[in-house]
Amino acid sequence: MPGTLSFDDLKSRVTDGTIDTVLVCLIDMQGRLMGKRFHAVNFVESSYKETHCCNYLLATDLEMATPDGYASTSWQAGYGDYVMKPDLGTIRLIPWLEGTAMVLCDVIDHHTHEPVPHSPRAVLKKQIARAEAMGLDVMMATELEFFLFEKSFDQIRKEGFRDLEPISGYNEDYHILQTTKEENVMRPIRNHLFAAGLPIENSKGEAEAGQEELNIRYDKALNCADHHTIAKHAIKEIAWQNGHAATFLPKWHQDRVGSSSHVHQSVWKDGEPLFYDKSDKLGMSELMKNYMAGLIAYSSDYTYFLAPYVNSYKRFAKGSFAPTKAVWSVDNRTASFRLCGDGTKSVRVECRIGGADMNPYLAQAAMLAAGLKGIEDKMELAPAAAGDAYVNEIAKDVPRTLNAAMDTLKNSAFLREAFGDDVVDHYTRAAEWEQEEFDRAVTDWEVARGFERA
């Protein structure tokens, strides 16, 4: 892809002055890029080997607070260092920032020199290695939904996040005229990301005023997560550069539809799709059926990784295109799991539970772990649901609150086996803290409802 660089390419561009800054980034628990801006000469001479960061970066919340209760680090332990080890296979240009390149890092324990197990990239790599040991190549693609607003981040923050106005005035789903009005933001997003080496397919208007969707071509699972994270970061930066704000909050207004992040999945070997069987009515191989059975059976266990905040659960509502029932169906957008491309070599499963706020590494790792468990145990796939899944009284519900998802995470024997107790305990504490912070907040709704009448 254009935009990706070898280390030698980077050195050449540093020598000729084309690149003067290298962003050296890790992925935090929330799926954000954190790191340092290196002078490019320093990076290519020495820092390409490693740099360091405070280990609190993998034990914070969205506000960068330092909650207690984490086994990995604490005030008592003194908040030491992690090693950030650049993955030189991820070097790329960042065309929307002048003279800038980026590299993603793996996070290494300073003392043991082993990957930090709860680092999101390490969590996904562990499941990919498990798949590879089974002779499987995992391919994934994510859809990024988000809203653009008329005002900038700074204006909106200074005004207390009130009177938010989307960039358009009506539902723009597939709407060419309205999205033309937004090309001052969306065109540079597509072109800059493509120039950065991301296989961008398209953008489109989504099913609400000011709502956009960006689609990136499927790739190997780790590449997919890297692409998702870089794209999400870029969308915010490019919107800011153009005087607008972009939000991936799943539900920013009670009367507006939410923003999701659907994940498409398939398994291959030696360039051939293992999910496809031409003799099956729907083109589904037994391996695919086993994989999907695992996805569905353990969906409650891993919902937290698809919906990690209190607000995440405001999406799940009847008639909203966000699922409420853990069933699969054929090309049916009311189900949590949609069979796409039935009868063709492109047959795959789309998980529709995830919100725009998910960390793609953790979400993909959890789903992959469930699918592999289904293959290992030869789990049987239930018949497809038909019709409106929202009114399916037999199917189990998707967890509807953070508390419910946290409980299934904490008590999941499946995830403890796949991820390890330390990882599950770490993210359980993250969920607990998020709920504790919300529980002590007094909302505008409570004040308006009860100030006079209570």
**pLDDT score, position 411:** 97
H or E element in which residue 269 lies: strand 263-269
Query: Which CATH number does the domain housing residue 237 bear?
Result: 3.30.590.10
H or E element in which residue 239 lies: helix 221-241
3-class state of residue 136 by DSSP: coil
3-class state of residue 339 by DSSP: strand
362-384 residue pLDDT tens: 999 999 999 999 999 999 999 99
Measure Cα distances from 429 to 58, 149, 250, 409, 412 in Å: 12, 33, 22, 11, 14
Task: Quote the CA–CA distance of 363 and 369 in Å, as a whole number.
Answer: 10
Short-list 192, 307, 230, CA closest to 27: 230
> 119 lies in a domain?
no
395-400 average pLDDT score: 89
CA dihedral 428→433→434→439, nearest 10 degrees, is 130
Short-list 230, 5, 2, CA closest to 101: 5
226 plus 283 within the same structural domain: yes
Query: Which CATH number does the domain housing residue 77 bear?
Result: 3.10.20.70
19-72 residue pLDDT tens: 999 999 999 999 999 999 999 999 999 999 999 999 999 999 999 999 999 999
Cross-strand pairs, 51 = 84
**pLDDT score, position 396:** 87
99 plus 132 within the same structural domain: no
Provide the residue range defining the domain that includes 271: 128-445
Cross-strand pairs, 138 = 267
**pLDDT score, position 325:** 86
248 plus 136 within the same structural domain: yes
DSSP character for 359?
Answer: -
Task: Quote the CA–CA distance of 369 and 129 in Å, as a whole number.
Answer: 11
Task: Quote the CA–CA distance of 304 and 350 in Å, as a whole number.
Answer: 18
Tokens of 38: 């290196």
Residue 321: how many other CB atoms lie within 10 Å: 15
Cβ pair 84, 53 in contact under 8 A: yes
**pLDDT score, position 65:** 92
End-to-end Cα, the chain, rounded Å: 62
> 122 lies in a domain?
no
What mean pLDDT value characterizes the chain?
95
The residues, any chain, with a CB within 8 Å of residue 291's CB and separated by 6 or more, are 265, 267, 275, 349, 371, 372, 374, 375
Least confident of 5-9, 340-344, 388-392: 388-392
70-93 average pLDDT score: 92
> 184 lies in a domain?
yes
* Domain end marker among 61, 86, 114: 114
Least confident of 66-75, 120-129, 200-209, 227-236: 66-75
**pLDDT score, position 153:** 96
Length of the chain: 454
pLDDT at 2 over 80: no
Cβ pair 366, 415 in contact under 8 A: yes
**pTM of the shown model:** 0.96
Residue 171: how many other CB atoms lie within 10 Å: 16
108-133 average pLDDT score: 96
Short-list 127, 62, 140, CA closest to 302: 127
Short-list 189, 243, 237, 242, CA closest to 212: 189
pLDDT at 80 over 80: yes
Measure Cα distances from 258 to 204, 211, 252 in Å: 16, 9, 7
CA angle (311 as vertex; 430, 204 as ends), nearest 5: 115
Q: Where are the beta strands (DSSP E) in 56-110?
A: 81-86, 92-93, 100-109
* Domain end marker among 68, 87, 114: 114
**pLDDT score, position 1:** 58
Cα torsion 53, 54, 58, 60: sign: negative
* Domain end marker among 114, 138, 162: 114
CA dihedral 246→247→252→258, nearest 10 degrees, is 100
106 plus 147 within the same structural domain: no
65 plus 134 within the same structural domain: no
320-324 average pLDDT score: 84
Which ranges of 4-63 does DSSP label H, i.e. alpha helix?
Answer: 7-15, 40-42
78 plus 171 within the same structural domain: no
191 plus 277 within the same structural domain: yes
3-class state of residue 314 by DSSP: helix
Short-list 292, 310, 293, 295, CA closest to 406: 310
Task: Quote the CA–CA distance of 44 and 11 in Å, as a whole number.
Answer: 6
181 plus 69 within the same structural domain: no
Measure Cα distances from 40 to 8, 15, 102, 231, 348 in Å: 13, 9, 10, 23, 42
Cross-strand pairs, 367 = none
pLDDT at 165 over 90: yes
What percent of the chain has pLDDT above 90? Answer: 89
Cα torsion 212, 143, 296, 423: sign: negative
Reported confidence tier of residue 354, pLDDT bands at 50, 70, 90: very high
Cβ pair 420, 117 in contact under 8 A: yes
Least confident of 180-189, 294-303, 319-328, 370-379: 319-328
Number of domains in the chain: 2
**pLDDT score, position 191:** 97
268 plus 215 within the same structural domain: yes
What percent of the chain has pLDDT above 70? Answer: 100
210 plus 328 within the same structural domain: yes
